[in-house]
Structure 1
Amino acid sequence: MRDRNSRLDTGRGTVSFAQYRYERAAKAVAKLIIATVAAAAIITGALFGLGRIAHWGPFAPGIPEARYSAQSWNTIVVNRWHRIPDDYPAPELTQLANGQQVDSRIYPELQRMFDTMRADGLDPEVTAGYRTQDEQRQIMSDRIFLYENQGMSAKDAEREAGRLVAIPGTSEHEIGLAVDLNAVGAADAEANQQVYDWLAANAWQYGFILRYPDGKTDVTGNQYEPWHYRYVGADVAKDIHDHGITLEEYAR
C-alpha cells in the first residue's frame, strides 16, 4: 500500500500521492461536467428544433407561421392564428417626431396621409407603431396583472387578456406595418372620432386599411378597433375597400 505521504514525479515537479490523486479526481469531475452540459445542450437543441417544426411540446410556439415572401411583404397576414415567421427580417425603421417608429417602407405614404389630414383641419399622430416582441410581452403581462388584481384567477386573467392584447409573436406592431392613429393627445373623444371618420373614408387612398372592422371579429380574431390601420399598398387597399373585405379574406 502506498503511503499518503509518498512522493510522485509528475513531470511538473514532485507532489504527494494524495495531492496527485486529488488533482486527477478533480480533472475527471470537470470532464464529466463538461460532457453533461454538452449533452444537455444537444438534447435541448434537438427538442427545440423538433418542437418548432412539429408545433408540439414546451419548446413549440404552438401557432403556425404566417406565409411570407419578400415580393409580397405588404400582404403578410399576421393574426392570432398565424405568428410572425422565424425568418421574417427585422424591419428597417424610421423614427417619427413623437418617438414612435414604423417600417421605413410605409413612412412616405403615412407622411403624405398626415399632410392631407392636417390640411383638412385634423391633428393626427401615431400613438403606437413598431414594438419588439419583448414590449408586446410586457403589455400582455401588464394586462394579466391588472385582471388578477381585480380578482380573476391566473387562468381567467390570461384568457381575458388574450381577447384584447395580441399574443406576443402575433402582433402586427411587431412587423412595423401597423399603426394606431388618434388625435394628438388622444384625450379628446370628439377629436379622436373625427380622425377615425376621416381614416375610414380616405386611408385606403394612401395604402392603409382599417385592419379590424366592426362585425369581423370571427374573421380577424380581433374586436373592432377604429384606430388600428395597416399598410398593404395602394392597389391592395383599394381592392379591400371596394369589396368591403378584410386582409384575411383578401389573402384567401
Structure 2
Amino acid sequence: MRAHRIYKKRRRRNSLRYFVSGMVLAGAAILVVIGGTVFVSGKRPKDEKGSGISENIGVDSDELLTLVNAEHPMPSEWQCELVQLNNGQNIDSRAYEDLQQMMDTARAEGYDPYICSSWRSHETQVRLFEEEIQSYKKQGYSEREAEVQAAQWVAVPGTSEHELGLALDIVSVENQRLEESQENTPTQQWLMEHCYEYGFILRYPKDKEDITGIGYEPWHYRYVGQDHARAIHESGVCLEEYVAHR
C-alpha cells in the first residue's frame, strides 16, 4: 500500500531577494503563457514506462542547462513537449527516456522511488503563491508583508524550476516528507549516488546553499543530460557554478 504523502514546506534562503527580484521579473514569466509558448502533452503511457517515445536525437544540450531562479526567470521563448506519467505528473520529453531507465534500475535493485512533483504550469505557480499570500493576510499581515512571507515558502511565479519541465521531486515511498530526513532513506541515497549516470543532478546540495539561494533539498533533481551531469558530479559544483564557468 502506498504511503500517504506528507509534504513539509522548506524555507527559501534569501527570500526577500527572491521576492523583490521575482516580482520584478514576473511580468516576463507571464509572457511564457501570453506570448504563445506551447506545451504539448504526449500520449499518456499505459504505465510509467510508457511507449512511443523516440530517442532524444538532436537535443540542444545547452538548453538543458537553462537556469531558472530569482536572477534568471523563465525564458519567454521556452517551449517543451510534455509526456504524462501514469500518476498524472508531466515531464519534458527530452528527460523521459533517461528518467524511466533510472526509475526502472532503482526498482530492479529493490528501491522505491516515487515522483511526487514535476512540471508545474505558470498558472499553478501563480495560484500557489497567491494562496500563500492570502493565508498570511488572514493572520493580519499587510499585502506587502504577506507577499514577503509567502516568498519564503513558495517560489515567486516565473522563478521556479518546476516550470521548465526538467525538474522533479523524487521521494521514497516509505518516507514522503520533503525534509532532510529524506537523505537517510536507502532510495534517496541510491538516487544521489547514481542520478548523474542518467543525466540528473541533485539540484540544491547541502554545501551550495549560498550559491543556489535555496536550502538543501535531498529530493529535488534536475535533468541536464548525461554529459553535463557527469561533469557536474565529477567536479563537485552546482548548476550555477557549472554554467558560469563554461
- TM score, norm. by length of structure 1: 0.68
- Deviation at residue 108 of structure 1 after TM alignment: 0.6
Equivalent of 2:27, from 61, 67, 70? 61
2:208 is equivalent to residue 216 of structure 1: yes
Say if 2:61 and 2:224, in contact at 8 Å, map to a contact too.
no
- Deviation at residue 120 of structure 1 after TM alignment: 2.1
Corresponding residue number in structure 2 for 1:9:
none
2:162 is equivalent to residue 196 of structure 1: no
Distance 1:172 1:108 in 2: 20
1:1-252, aligned counterparts within 5 Å?
A: 61=27, 70=60, 72-89=62-79, 91-184=80-173, 187=176, 193-252=185-244
Distance 1:195 1:109 in 2: 17
Say if 1:144 and 1:161, in contact at 8 Å, map to a contact too.
yes
- Deviation at residue 192 of structure 1 after TM alignment: 7.5
Say if 2:119 and 2:163, in contact at 8 Å, map to a contact too.
yes
Q: Deviations over 1:198-236 (max 9, x none)?
A: 221111111100111113222112111111100001111
Q: Which runs of 5+ in 2 are unaligned?
A: 1-20, 32-58
- Deviation at residue 190 of structure 1 after TM alignment: 6.7
The structure whose Rg is larger is 1
- Aligned residue for 1:82, secondary structure, equals coil
Percent identity over paired residues? 44
What residue identity is the alignment partner of 1:245? V
Instruction: Report which of the two has the higher share of helix.
Output: 1
Q: 1:59 to 1:79 in 2, by over 3 A?
A: closer
- Deviation at residue 243 of structure 1 after TM alignment: 1.4
Say if 2:203 and 2:239, in contact at 8 Å, map to a contact too.
yes
- Deviation at residue 122 of structure 1 after TM alignment: 1.4
Say if 1:183 and 1:191, in contact at 8 Å, map to a contact too.
no
What residue identity is the alignment partner of 1:61? G
Q: Deviations over 1:171-216 (max 9, x none)?
A: 1111100001012375476798333222211111111001111132
- Deviation at residue 149 of structure 1 after TM alignment: 3.5
**Aligned length, in residue pairs:** 192
Structure number with greater CO (CA < 8 Å, separation at least 6) is 2
What residue identity is the alignment partner of 2:73? R
Q: 1:145 to 1:196 in 2, by over 3 A?
A: farther
Corresponding residue number in structure 2 for 1:16:
none
Q: 1:61 to 1:93 in 2, by over 3 A?
A: same
What residue identity is the alignment partner of 2:167? A
Say if 1:204 and 1:241, in contact at 8 Å, map to a contact too.
yes
Distance 1:59 1:197 in 2: 36
- Deviation at residue 160 of structure 1 after TM alignment: 2.4
What residue identity is the alignment partner of 2:27? P
Distance 1:140 1:191 in 2: 27
